[in-house]
Amino acid sequence: NAEYMGENSTISNKMKLMVLVDGSEHSERAFQKALQRKGADDILYVVHAIPFSELGVASAENPFVDPSLVAQERKILEDRGAKVIAKFEKLAADLNTSNCRFHTLKDGYAKEQACTFAETEGIDTLFVGQRGLGRVNSVFIGSFSTYILNNAPCDVVLVR
């Protein structure tokens, strides 16, 4: 995508790329693929979305569930997310990669947060790893990558 830079100026081919990371080997491969596609002036957003569904959203509203337990679980997931981002910050630094921005999304369902972030930031291409859980597991637990493919406001690169 090119963007107009104003009267009497040149067209910029700077791309906004986004990779979704969760610390798995699948997300590491997606990160590597994004780096391969990233030009020197492109911006790479490295994004971890806390899996809010693991917090037991429904149980948080249940009067029989202690809210402090939900808060403890949230803290555990936020700490895990901080470690994931730190891992990718180190990888980017070790590879001397410039123009990387690191984000943790904390509110809402991870797959919805990811698509909203991509839209808000004007992402051109989103990279996501596929865990390959298979058709049966995808029916029961939902497929994150399938949701991203169907709902992202940009091109999606699915990395196996």
Q: What is the pLDDT of residue 68?
A: 81
Single-letter residue type at 145: S
- The count of C-alpha atoms lying within 13 angstroms of the C-alpha of 106, restricted to the half-sphere facing its C-beta, is 14
Average pLDDT across the chain, whole number: 83
d(CA 116, CA 137): 25
Q: What is the pLDDT of residue 53?
A: 59
- Write out the H or E segment, with its range, that includes residue 82: helix 67-94
Nearest to 126 by CA among 26, 46, 41: 46
- Is 138's pLDDT higher than 80? no
Which tens digit of pLDDT belongs to each residue from 87-99?
999 999 999 999 9
Q: What is the pLDDT of residue 70?
A: 77
Tokens of 7: 């009267």
The pLDDT of 122-151, averaged and rounded, is: 76
d(CA 45, CA 151): 18
Round the CA-based radius of gyration of the chain to a whole number and report it: 17
Q: What is the pLDDT of residue 132?
A: 58
d(CA 28, CA 33): 9
- CB atoms near residue 50 (< 10 Å): 22
Tokens of 121: 């930031």
How far CA 101 is from CA of 11, 42, 56, 68, 85, in Å, comes to 23, 11, 29, 32, 10
Model confidence, pTM: 0.81
Which tens digit of pLDDT belongs to each residue from 33-67?
999 999 999 999 999 998 765 555 545 566 667 77
